[in-house]
A and B are shown apart, each in its own frame.
Chain A
Amino acid sequence: MLVSYQWLKDYVDIDDLTVEETAEKLTRGGVEVDVLHPRSEGLEQVEVGYVEACEQHPNADKLNVCQVNTGEETAQIICGAPNVAAGQKVAVAKPGAVLPGGMKIKKTKLRGEPSEGMICSLQELGIEQKLVAKEFIDGIYVFPESAKVGEDAVEELGLRDTVLELDLTPNRADCLSMIGIAYEMAALLDREVHQPDCTFTAADQSAAEAVSVQVDVPEDNPYYGAKIIQDISIGPSPLWMQNRLTAAGIRPINNVVDITNYVLLEYGQPLHAFDFDRFGSNEVVVRRANEEETITTLDEEVRTLSAEHMVITNGKEPTALAGVMGGAFSEVQEDTTTILLEAAYFNSSRVRKASKDMGVRSESSTRFEKGVDSGRVEEASARAAHLLERYAGGTVLEGTVEDDFRSDEKRVIETEPEQLNKRLGMDLSQEDILSIFRRLQFTVETEGNRISVEVPTRRPDLRIEEDLAEEVARLYGYDYIPTTLPSGVTTPGSLSPEQNKRRKIRRYLEASGLHEAITYSLTSPEKASRFLLEEVPGTVMVSMPMSEERSTMRTSLIPHLLDTVQYNRNRQINDSSMFELGSVFIVESETLTQQPEEKKVLAAAVTGTWEIHLWQGEKKKTDFFVVKGILEGLFEELGVLDNIQFVPSSRKELHPGRSADIVLNGRSVGFTGQVHPSVEKEWDIKETYIFQLDLDAILAAETEELSYAVLPRYPSISRDIALVVDQNVPAGDVQRVIEEAGGPLLKQVTLFDVYEGENLEAGKKSLAFSLVYLDPERTLTDEEVTKTHDHVVSELTEKVQAVLRQ
C-alpha cells in the first residue's frame, strides 16, 4: 500500500508531525512503513506557463519555437514535443531548475534559436512512465484550463508530497485503505477521523425500475449492490484526483474509472462501473461460471472459466470476473452516458481462486482476497456517487438495488483488566484499558470488572481476548511492557546425548583438517540414485519442483560433496577437504504414503595435496590411508574402534582396488575409498577419496564406559617379527592372527614395514611387525615371552602360511 502523506491529512490532523514522525508512529504501532518516497526533492523553479505562440523552428523540422508566459515574463523556449501547441498551459522548468534525472536547465541556443527553459513531460518531472496518462506519454504534459499561470507546477502536480510504502501484515487488510490508516493514526495520536463527503442528490427515478440484482450463491457473494448513474459525461478527472492516484501508483484514465479507483483507495472497497447501455440486459445475475465458459476481459484476453470461478452476468453471458476484472464489452468508453456502479462484498477464497487461476492480481482482487470491510460497502458506493455527481455530471437514480445475505450479528469480545495484565505482565487500570478502546473507536460496555468490546467490521482480525491484549499493548506501547524472567520451575537446559556426539564429531573432523560443508537437500533424481548406503525402494519427490536439479530429496551426501569439489576445482582450488553431517531421506516403499525415514549421515570428500611444507620438501598427496586414518580416529573418539572392520568393497562407484566397506559388529555402516576413476571423470574431478557413514547406526552401537586402566609398573619386552606371505593375504588378517595367538601378554602389535619386489619370490610380500609383551603383575622372563612368541609364529605358519624371514 502506497500512502500519500498529503492525502492522509484529509482524514486526520497530522500537521504537527513530520512525515518521518508519522512513519515512525505507524511502524511502532504495528503498521510497518518500509520506505519513504519523496515525490520530488529539491525540484524548484518549475511553473505553470501559457504557450502564447508556437511556430516551427526555422532550422529544424521537429522543433517548435514557443513563446511561453509564466506570469511576469514571456520567454522563448524551444520544444521538441509533438503535442505542444499555442494556447496550452504547460510545466516550464526555468533556467536554474534541476530536474529529478539530474538535468540542469540553462539558457541555451538550439539550432541558432535562443531557448530560456524547458517545457516538461511528466516523466521529466519524475513520474514513472506507467503512471502517466496515455495522452501524455509521448509528449509534454498539458494542464487543465483551470490551472493558474505562474503557479508552482510542482505543487499543482501534487509532487510536494512523500509517499509512505507500507509493508502490511496479512491481518491488517483494514490498512489497505486511506481511511483505515487514518483510523490507525487517529488511535495512535488520540485524534478524530474526518469522514469523506458521501452526499448526493438522488433523482426521482428509482434504480430498481432500471435494473434487478440476483445472487445465486450467498456464500460466494454475501452482498451485491448496484447503483444507476445517468447523464455521465466522460472526461478527465480533476487534477488533484489524478495526482493522488498517481501517488498511490494508479494511472489516471478518465473521470469514471478514476473515481472508482479513488474510492477503492479511500475505503479499500473495490467498485466496478459497467456501461449500462452496453451491459446487454436489465438484470445482474451473480453466479458460478459454467465449465469451459469464456469471457473476454477488458485487457482483451479471452479467459476460459470453470465452476470454481464466480462471474457477474447480464443473465445470459458473463460481464465481469467477480472481484478480479471487468469484461470488455461492458467497459466504460468515451461515449458512455449511463453506468451501473457495482459495490459488492465477495468471498475472499473465491476471488483468490480466480485471481490465481487467471494469473491476474489487481488492486481489486488483492483487497477482496485479504478481506474488505463488509460494513462499509454502501458508504463506499455513496462516496462514489457523490464524486460522480460532482466530477462526471452524473445523475444518481434513487436507491441501491441489492441482494444482501450479510449477518448483522455483532462481534463482541469480553475481557477483564486482570486477564489482560496477566497475559502482558503489566499493571494497567480499567481506565487505561477503556481509554485505549475509545481511541480505537470500539464500542465498549462495562459491568464491574467485565469489559465487553464490540469490534467494528473494519477489524475482522480481532476475534479473541488475546487480540484485545495485543491492541491494548501496542497502543499503550510495547516499550512499557516490563522485562521479567519466567518465574516457573527451573529446568536444566541440555543437548541430547546424540546432539552432544554430533558436536563431538564436528570438533574432531575440524581438528583433523576437514571443513564443514552444508549443501542443498534437494537434488536431481539422477543424483539421488548415486552413492547410496544401501539400495532404497523410493525417494521423496517434490510435486511441483522449481527445476529438475532440485526435485528430489537426497539419499546420499556424496553427490553434492563431489559437486563442491568440482565447484572449487573450477576456481583453481585443487586441494579441498570437506565433510557434511546431515539427513538423507529414505522411502521404504515405492510411493510415499508416510513420512520418510530421515537418516543422519556423515560424509566427506578429500582431494589434492593433504600435507604441504614446501621449503622443507614435504608434500603428501591425499590417499586412502589419510582418510582411513581420520576414520579410525573418529571411531576411537566414538568408542567403537575395536568393533570396526574395513573390508574390501565391491561398490561400483568406487575404485575396485582402493575401497572398503566399513563393518560395525558384522553390519555394514558405510564405505570409504577412492571414487571410481570413470565417475571422477564424469564429475570432472581428480583423484578424490570419500567416506559416508550411517551415523544413526554408529551412534546406536553400544560402547563401553570410559574407565582408567592401571599404569604398568613392570617393564615390557619387545620382539620384532618379519614374515613372508602371499601377496593377496590382507595385512589385517595377519595382524588378527598375531593378536589372537599372542593372548593376554601381547599388549601391542605395530606393522612397521611392508615390502614387495626384489629378493622376494614373485607373488609374495614381506610384512614386519613389532610386538610388545607385558604382564602388569610382574616382570616377564625371557622364557615366557619366547614361549608365547613361538606360539604366535606357529599360528602364523599354520593360518596364513607365513614363512619367517631370516
Chain B
Amino acid sequence: MIERLQELGKEALQEIKEADTVKALDNIRVKYLGKKGPITEVLRGMGKLSAEERPKVGQKANEIREEIQSSLEAKTTELEEIALEEKLKEESIDVTLPGKEIKRGARHPLTAVVEEIEDIFIGLGFQVTEGPEVETDYYNFEALNLPPDHPARDMQDSFYVTHDMLLRTQTSPVQARTMQKHHGQGPVKIVCPGKVYRRDDDDATHSHQFMQIEGLYVDKNVRMSDLKGTLEAFVKKYFGPERSIRLRPSFFPFTEPSVEVDVSCGICGGTGCRVCKNSGWIEVLGAGMVHPNVLEFSGFDSNEYSGFAFGMGVERFALLKYGIDDIRHFYTNDIRFLEQFKRA
C-alpha cells in the first residue's frame, strides 16, 4: 500500500511539474486529492490493514498529500507570476507619447510685473492704493504743482473729457488724494499702480495707454538718502543683488530735488553694450523729494514733514525683463504672445 501511495505521489508531482495552467493544476488537485481520488481510495482500504501498519500508512498518506499540496501551491504561485508578468507586458505603453495637457492660462506680463513690484514694496511696508482713471485737472496737475500753462496741461498732450476733467496722465493724483485723506498726519507710505493715458500715436515705443506704478513716502525727517536706500533695496530685489543704482539730476514739477534713477546694465554688467547704448546704465525710474508745494496743497506742513516719491513705467520694466521689442504687444493680446508668460 505504501508503494502504491509513493507511486501516486510520484505521478502527481510529475503531472504538477508538467502543468502549464492554473486550470490544469486545479484538475490535478481534484484528481489526486479529491474525495474520489486515488489517495482517498487507498485510505478507504486501510480497514483491511493491521493495527500496526495502519498508522504508518496513514502517516505516509498524509505526507504524500502534503507534498502534493505544497507542490501545487508552489506551482500555482509560479504560474500566477508568469501570468501576471505576461499581463503587465501586454499592458505596457509607450511612455514617450505626449501626456494630456492641463489647460492653463498665462498671467499678463504687465500684471506679473505690477504684482512683483507691489510685493517688493509691501515687504518694505508700503500699502497698495488705487484711484480713478478719469481724474480732475486739480488732482492730476494742480495739486502736483504743475502750473496752468505747463505743456502737459495742453489739449494736445492729454485726453481731456471736459474742461476740468481728463484721463489721468500719471498715477500721481492717487498720491495727492491719499495725502489729503491723511489730514496732515503722517506717515503715508503707498504704492499706486494703474493705467494712464497720453495723447501719443501708438508705435513700437509709444502707447496712448500705458501703466505706471508710483510710490510715496511722507513722514517727519524723510531724507534724500532714504529715497536712495529704498530704491536701491527695490532695484536689488527686482533686478538682482549684483545690480547697482545711480542717481542723475532731473526735473519734475512735483519733486525737488528730482532725479532719474539708472540701474547698472544687466547684459554687460556696466562695461557698455548695445542694450545700454554703451553707457553701462539703463534708465528705469524717476524720483525725487516731494515738492513743498505738493505737501502744502495736500494739507501737510512742509516744515514738519518731508517725503520722497518715485514712479516707473510698467511696460518699460516688462520690456527690460523679458526683452520684448514692441510696446503694442501688451495690448493686442496675440495668444502666441500671451501664452509665453505661463510661468511669469
Partner-B contacts on A (CB < 8 A): 27-30, 32, 169-172, 348-349, 352, 356, 422-426, 461, 464, 466-467, 469-470, 473-474, 478-479, 481-496, 499, 503, 506, 509-522, 540-546, 550, 553, 564, 567-568, 571, 573, 576-579, 582-583, 585, 592, 595-596, 598, 610-613, 615-616, 618
How many angstroms from the CA of A522 to the CA of B166 in the assembled complex?
13
Central interface residue in B233, B331, B333, B339, by most chain A CB within 10 Å: B333
How many angstroms from the CA of A571 to the CA of B329 in the assembled complex?
14
How many angstroms from the CA of A136 to the CA of B59 in the assembled complex?
134
Measured as residues with beta carbon below 8 angstroms from the partner, the interface class of chain B is 35 or more
Partner-A contacts on B (CB < 8 A): 97-98, 100-101, 103-108, 110-111, 115, 118, 121-128, 130, 132-136, 149, 151, 154-156, 159-162, 165, 167, 186-187, 189, 195, 197, 199, 201, 208-209, 217, 219-226, 228-230, 232-233, 246-251, 256-260, 289, 291-292, 306, 330-336, 338-339
Shortest beta-carbon contacts, A-B, top 4: A425-B225, A30-B249, A513-B103, A425-B223
| Nearest CB in chain B to that of A349: its residue | B149
Which of B223, B233, B257, B335 makes the CB contact (< 8 A) with A515? B335
A-side contacts of B225, CB under 8 Å: 424-426, 481-484
Taking a contact as CB atoms under 8 Å apart, the answer to whether B333 and A546 are in contact is no
Which of A482, A592, A618 makes the CB contact (< 8 A) with B162? A592
Q: Given A495-B118, A513-B103, verify A169-B133 contact (CB < 8 Å).
A: no
Taking a contact as CB atoms under 8 Å apart, the answer to whether B127 and A484 are in contact is no
Taking a contact as CB atoms under 8 Å apart, the answer to whether A30 and B195 are in contact is no
Taking a contact as CB atoms under 8 Å apart, the answer to whether B195 and A494 are in contact is no
A-B contact pairs, 27 of them (CB 8 A): A28-B248, A356-B154, A422-B223, A425-B223, A464-B256, A464-B292, A478-B247, A481-B247, A486-B230, A487-B226, A488-B219, A493-B124, A495-B122, A513-B104, A514-B105, A519-B331, A520-B209, A520-B331, A522-B197, A540-B161, A541-B161, A553-B167, A571-B334, A579-B105, A595-B136, A612-B101, A616-B100
B-side contacts of A583, CB under 8 Å: 133
Central interface residue in A170, A499, A515, by most chain B CB within 10 Å: A515
Which of B123, B155, B251, B291 makes the CB contact (< 8 A) with A169? B251
Taking a contact as CB atoms under 8 Å apart, the answer to whether B257 and A473 are in contact is yes
Q: How far is the CB of A499 from chain B (nearest CB, A)?
A: 6
Taking a contact as CB atoms under 8 Å apart, the answer to whether B209 and A27 are in contact is no
Q: Given A486-B219, A491-B187, A492-B125, verify A521-B209 contact (CB < 8 Å).
A: yes
Q: How far is the CB of A293 from chain B (nearest CB, A)?
A: 24
A-side contacts of B224, CB under 8 Å: 423-426, 469, 473, 481
| Nearest CB in chain A to that of B136: its residue | A595
Which of B98, B107, B156 makes the CB contact (< 8 A) with A615? B98
How many angstroms from the CA of A619 to the CA of B257 in the assembled complex?
62
Q: How far is the CB of A227 from chain B (nearest CB, A)?
A: 31
Taking a contact as CB atoms under 8 Å apart, the answer to whether B105 and A513 are in contact is yes
| Nearest CB in chain B to that of A168: its residue | B251
A-side contacts of B126, CB under 8 Å: 491, 493
| Nearest CB in chain B to that of A596: its residue | B134
Which of B103, B197, B219, B333 makes the CB contact (< 8 A) with A521? B197
Q: How far is the CB of B283 from chain A (nearest CB, A)?
A: 9
A-side contacts of B332, CB under 8 Å: 564, 567
Which of B105, B256, B330 makes the CB contact (< 8 A) with A577? B105
How many angstroms from the CA of A494 to the CA of B266 in the assembled complex?
30
Q: Given A30-B249, A473-B224, A478-B247, verify A517-B161 contact (CB < 8 Å).
A: no
| Nearest CB in chain B to that of A477: its residue | B247
Which of B111, B128, B136 makes the CB contact (< 8 A) with A496? B128
Taking a contact as CB atoms under 8 Å apart, the answer to whether B107 and A510 are in contact is yes
- A169-B258, A170-B251, A488-B222 known; 13 new pairs, CB 8 Å cut-off, are A425-B223, A425-B226, A426-B225, A469-B224, A469-B257, A469-B289, A489-B219, A499-B130, A522-B159, A544-B199, A553-B134, A595-B136, A610-B103
How many angstroms from the CA of A172 to the CA of B249 in the assembled complex?
11
Q: How far is the CB of B342 from chain A (nearest CB, A)?
A: 8
B-side contacts of A553, CB under 8 Å: 134, 161, 167
Q: Given A517-B108, A568-B335, verify A478-B249 contact (CB < 8 Å).
A: yes
Taking a contact as CB atoms under 8 Å apart, the answer to whether A478 and B259 are in contact is yes
Taking a contact as CB atoms under 8 Å apart, the answer to whether B257 and A470 are in contact is yes
Q: Given A493-B123, A522-B197, verify A483-B105 contact (CB < 8 Å).
A: no
Total A-B residue pairs with C-beta atoms closer than 8 Å? 254
Taking a contact as CB atoms under 8 Å apart, the answer to whether A499 and B133 are in contact is no
Taking a contact as CB atoms under 8 Å apart, the answer to whether A542 and B133 are in contact is no
Q: How far is the CB of A485 from chain B (nearest CB, A)?
A: 5
Taking a contact as CB atoms under 8 Å apart, the answer to whether B333 and A519 are in contact is yes
A-side contacts of B259, CB under 8 Å: 478
Taking a contact as CB atoms under 8 Å apart, the answer to whether B128 and A543 are in contact is no
Taking a contact as CB atoms under 8 Å apart, the answer to whether B339 and A515 are in contact is yes
Q: How far is the CB of A428 from chain B (nearest CB, A)?
A: 12
B-side contacts of A510, CB under 8 Å: 104-107
Which of A170, A172, A479, A540 makes the CB contact (< 8 A) with B246? A479
Taking a contact as CB atoms under 8 Å apart, the answer to whether B115 and A503 are in contact is yes
Q: How far is the CB of B124 from chain A (nearest CB, A)?
A: 6
Which of A169, A485, A541, A546 makes the CB contact (< 8 A) with B229? A485
Taking a contact as CB atoms under 8 Å apart, the answer to whether A522 and B208 are in contact is yes
Taking a contact as CB atoms under 8 Å apart, the answer to whether A30 and B250 are in contact is yes
How many angstroms from the CA of A573 to the CA of B222 in the assembled complex?
53
Taking a contact as CB atoms under 8 Å apart, the answer to whether A573 and B108 are in contact is no
B-side contacts of A616, CB under 8 Å: 100
How many angstroms from the CA of A523 to the CA of B304 in the assembled complex?
46
Taking a contact as CB atoms under 8 Å apart, the answer to whether A573 and B247 are in contact is no
A-side contacts of B161, CB under 8 Å: 540-543, 553, 592
How many angstroms from the CA of A215 to the CA of B251 in the assembled complex?
34
A-side contacts of B187, CB under 8 Å: 488-489, 491
Q: How far is the CB of B21 from chain A (nearest CB, A)?
A: 34
Which of A171, A511, A542, A615 makes the CB contact (< 8 A) with B167? A542
| Nearest CB in chain B to that of A616: its residue | B100
Taking a contact as CB atoms under 8 Å apart, the answer to whether A568 and B223 are in contact is no
Q: How far is the CB of B29 from chain A (nearest CB, A)?
A: 40
Q: How far is the CB of A146 from chain B (nearest CB, A)?
A: 40
| Nearest CB in chain B to that of A613: its residue | B100
Which of A356, A426, A503, A515 makes the CB contact (< 8 A) with B106? A515
B-side contacts of A486, CB under 8 Å: 217, 219, 222, 226, 229-230
B-side contacts of A522, CB under 8 Å: 159, 167, 197, 208-209
| Nearest CB in chain B to that of A500: its residue | B128
How many angstroms from the CA of A513 to the CA of B101 in the assembled complex?
11
Q: How far is the CB of A704 from chain B (nearest CB, A)?
A: 26
Q: How far is the CB of A730 from chain B (nearest CB, A)?
A: 29
Taking a contact as CB atoms under 8 Å apart, the answer to whether A515 and B105 are in contact is yes
Q: How far is the CB of A515 from chain B (nearest CB, A)?
A: 4
B-side contacts of A514, CB under 8 Å: 105
Q: How far is the CB of B169 from chain A (nearest CB, A)?
A: 13
How many angstroms from the CA of A576 to the CA of B339 in the assembled complex?
10
A-side contacts of B160, CB under 8 Å: 542-544
How many angstroms from the CA of A517 to the CA of B107 in the assembled complex?
9
A-side contacts of B136, CB under 8 Å: 595
Q: How far is the CB of B185 from chain A (nearest CB, A)?
A: 12
| Nearest CB in chain A to that of B233: its residue | A485
Q: How far is the CB of B117 from chain A (nearest CB, A)?
A: 12
Which of B128, B135, B154, B289 makes the CB contact (< 8 A) with A495? B128
Which of A515, A568, A595 makes the CB contact (< 8 A) with B132? A595
Central interface residue in B101, B125, B167, B221, by most chain A CB within 10 Å: B125
Central interface residue in B154, B220, B230, B247, by most chain A CB within 10 Å: B247
Taking a contact as CB atoms under 8 Å apart, the answer to whether B201 and A516 are in contact is no
Q: How far is the CB of B111 from chain A (nearest CB, A)?
A: 6
How many angstroms from the CA of A461 to the CA of B223 in the assembled complex?
22
A-side contacts of B125, CB under 8 Å: 490-493
A-side contacts of B250, CB under 8 Å: 30, 32, 169
Taking a contact as CB atoms under 8 Å apart, the answer to whether A564 and B333 are in contact is yes
Q: Given A479-B246, A483-B229, verify A474-B257 contact (CB < 8 Å).
A: yes
A-side contacts of B256, CB under 8 Å: 464, 466-467, 469-470
Q: How far is the CB of A519 from chain B (nearest CB, A)?
A: 6
